[in-house]
A and B are shown apart, each in its own frame.
Chain A
């Protein structure tokens, strides 16, 4: 059953070929059997999962099942789940049990999903390798000595290993797309504001966006359908109608204009990756698309710009973790200053601390103009690059990452690792939607094709992804040793 896509599982449940309880038990058993290899889950919720599964089965029996009733999924451990620990993979929140659901969690629950548990991630979503988790590294199903990517590495690994039908992720600089690419699954980062951020623990508020991670574009469409929409509790959520994403999946790609940014090819790009991506793009041409080279001249500024804005916002967002109201508190604080400094020194990991320091520095008197304000100006230039590009093309294609999954401790220099996000970060700075599709293999590791669309063009991106997946089988490949 775990080999079925989410769409196929829904069909099977509706046809009563199997029950949600059976499906859920199957996944729980697989997690029990395999997850010690991947460490993709931080917390499992078998009781509530089985309860939800039985409720879904009852709904099918009554004939009033929700759109996603009975499919077992996992939530990245930064989406608040009422009554279930939400840790952000940090010691700081190791004891945190939220009294509320994130909007995304409740919307998916309303659609009937079964939540198996909470997935591993980089601490507070800060990282591209899952190496910063307080709960240990999640590992890549295509090679456990390699990273699954990050920060949504646990979600990507769990989907790739068949330990859930699909998962949620969040993407601040590539945190859905990069692990999706590295684990050979499909991941969509929607337009900024398309999915509510309420209840998603904030990393960088102006960049964070939640999205689906699944086997296929069609599965992503099904999930996004339930996730998307205006939320009065999130002032930055978009009050725009949510289209029927599944209805346009089979639309023709005839006449689709694809732009290939010259800045995304060559340079740091692994030649084997480039070859794979170019082959994938030729598949799209076969389907009727036309291709032209374009330029996104400020691409090189995206990473430095991001590493000012994201840490600046994070430095304030993470101030609430002070040991006063919830979360970790140091033992026997002598006084208030001691409470603050030891709680935060002991509760946060190294990467989080370094980003708080960077962000605090960038906002400090005397540096604000040189760093934060300048970065905001650069952000506008990067956004304008895309606005200009979308006057000529419908979608921008390129690699999701410059390299396939790297091994643990391989990229010990943080800046080198930051540069692995070179193709994904600009999308967040511009607030655009982008889809990563499994599109090639480099050696025995999957590689991703990234499709960047104009604002609110998720339906088109999913349509392209779906058509691509109907003529390719990259998304059907399974990591070995998991039957």
Chain B
């Protein structure tokens, strides 16, 4: 039987506001445990929440980027459950009246565009962290994260493959980083994803029983977790079993999912409107003011790259997928005046190096200025493309800018006709047989034989001879 995968995602986005959603504590990552937890974050008796307007603005901007309806009235509710890293015994979140209503995101996989509908997105507070290691049978609680603003986005079950789920998540990543409302760093939990996965025979209208996958905190894990869960479900059904509605945890080391809790164990969260917070009421003018502050979004930027830099749709798409990459490209192109070369270097050598060293483009030792300096020396024939790769590596290693490295290492391309003539004369005089062969050959063979002489000259010049010039001078010499 042919099976169809159905995926809906729940995406948590940590907002990069200065302070927490309901308190003045800092949201910075990585501080010593509980140093960023105030009396409010600790849920001390009598403390009260005050809603952070920056979080509201970020949520509205995100909603606008999703073409979503913005809730003119949104209401915070209390979601009640006990957990040691949930200080109040309830999470303040939104349910019936969220800040962001239905919207959509278009994704493209293998040239096919699909529209993923957004059910809604709401604002809520993050919980703290339970630390189970290093406490000798006890659990440590770090409340630094408690109260960090989150947007939870819920899609309709509109994705049909793990690749589509990843494409969607990357699109969300692009949007939030473009908006600069989140750093989108999955490794630090700034972007988190749960996937609801089910399978059904192709052509069947009705959805299969869904399983919620948790703990899939990288793009790669999202893809692998969904794929292995899909395989599990299909195998299970084909062996005569049935899928149980449950929450499963993805184990990346074993590349398998395992049951965490079943539907029967689900909590009754007893949501009700939080009486400590007033409904958030905004008008059109408020929303329009934020719309005016929206930066250029990925789709618009891609179109502009194609138009202004004459890049292919593919190149423009790759370069604009991440704001940092697009910014890097534009800075490089502006500094060197050669957008196509800049694009090739960023998508080629730089991307490979970033991937290899596992660093983000913003943390790369090579800045747009450095890369532009290198490209300029290629353009003015100071160095060849081949030598440029050497210079690039040296720049990555921190040896200085392109000019310094070319100078220090003596990599300047030999374009001095006098010097080249001297080398060529030596090679030609030292190779009488090859010269004779060349002169006896027809036009077609001559081209091949020329390669020998070029190679010799390059070798003698330690790769620094300008290859174009060498060709020109050699041809003149041998043909003459």
Interface residues, chain A, CB within 8 Å of chain B?
A: 78-80, 86, 88, 93, 96, 98-100, 102, 197-202, 204-206, 232-236, 312-313, 315-316, 318-320, 322, 324-326, 336, 340, 360, 363-365, 368, 372
* Assembly CA distance A100 to B49 (angstroms): 15
A-B contact pairs, 13 of them (CB 8 A): A93-B45, A98-B39, A100-B44, A202-B45, A202-B276, A235-B48, A235-B276, A235-B277, A325-B87, A326-B42, A360-B270, A363-B271, A364-B270
Q: Cα distance A233–B47 when bound, in Å?
A: 8
The answer to whether A319 and B272 touch (CB under 8 A), given A98-B45, A201-B45, A234-B48, is: no
Instruction: Considering the complex, give the chain B residue whose CB is closest to the CB of A207.
Output: B275
Min CB distance, A318 to chain B, in Å?
Answer: 8
Cα distance A226–B268 in the bound complex, in angstroms: 43
CB distance B50 to A233 under 8 Å? yes
Does the CB pair A319–B90 fall under 8 Å? yes
Chain B residues near A313: list those with CB within 8 A.
Answer: 272, 275
Asked whether A235 lies within 8 Å of B51 as measured between CB atoms, the reply is yes
Known A316-B89, A363-B270; further 20 A-B contacts with Cβ < 8 A: A100-B39, A197-B46, A197-B48, A198-B46, A198-B47, A206-B275, A233-B48, A236-B278, A313-B275, A316-B78, A316-B80, A316-B90, A320-B43, A322-B82, A324-B84, A325-B44, A325-B141, A326-B42, A363-B272, A365-B270
Cβ–Cβ < 8 Å partners of B87 in chain A:
320, 324-325
- Is the Cβ of B47 less than 8 Å from the Cβ of A199? yes
| Bound: A236/B270 CA distance, A | 22
Assess the A235–B278 pair: CB atoms within 8 A: yes
Whether B272 lies near A320 (C-beta < 8 A) is: no
Bound together, the chains give a CA A88 to CA B84 distance in angstroms of 23
Known: A100-B39, A206-B275. A319 touches B46 (CB 8 A): no
User: How far is B141's CA from A168's CA once the two chains are assembled, in angstroms?
Assistant: 36
Within 8 Å CB of B276, what residues of A?
A: 202, 205, 235-236
Determine if B248 is an interface residue (Cβ-Cβ < 8 Å): no
> Which residue, of B82, B88, B139, B270, has the highest number of chain A Cβ atoms within 10 A?
B270
Chain B contact residues: over half helix, strand or loop, or mixed? loop
Determine whether the beta carbon of B88 is less than 8 Å from that of A319. Answer: yes
- Smallest Cβ-Cβ distance to A124: which chain B residue: B45
B interface residues, Cβ below 8 angstroms from A: 39, 42-51, 78, 80, 82, 84, 87-90, 139, 141, 268, 270-272, 275-278
Chain A residues with CB under 8 Å of B46's CB are: 78-80, 86, 98, 102, 197-202
Closest to B38 in A: A100
CB contacts (< 8 Å) of B139 on chain A: these are 336
B272 and A316 within 8 A (CB): yes
With both chains docked as a complex, state the minimum distance between the C-beta of A226 and any C-beta of chain B, in angstroms.
19
Contact between B49 and A235, CB atoms less than 8 A apart: yes
Closest residue to B51 on the A side, CB-wise? A235
| Known interface pairs A236-B276, A322-B89; A365-B48 also in contact (CB < 8 Å) | no
A325 to B42, CA, bound (A): 7
Alpha-carbon distance A93/B82, docked complex (angstroms) = 19
In angstroms, Cα B276 to Cα A326, docked, is 22
Known: A324-B84, A336-B84, A340-B82. A198 touches B48 (CB 8 A): yes
Tell me, in angstroms, the Cα distance from A313 to B90 when the chains sit together.
12
Partner of A363, one of B43, B80, B275: B80
Closest Cβ neighbor of B139 among chain A residues: A336
- Given the complex, which residues of A lie within 8 Å of B278, measured CB to CB? 235-236
Q: Is the CB of B89 within 8 A of A319?
A: yes
Residues on B with beta carbons closer than 8 Å to the beta carbon of A236:
48, 275-276, 278
For B50, list chain A residues within 8 Å (CB).
232-235
Across the interface, which residues of A come within 8 angstroms of B42, CB to CB? Answer: 325-326
**Which residues of the partner chain B approach A98 to less than 8 Å between Cβ atoms?**
39, 44-46
Contact A364 B84, beta carbon cutoff 8 Å:
no
Q: Residues of B contacting A200 with CB < 8 Å?
A: 46
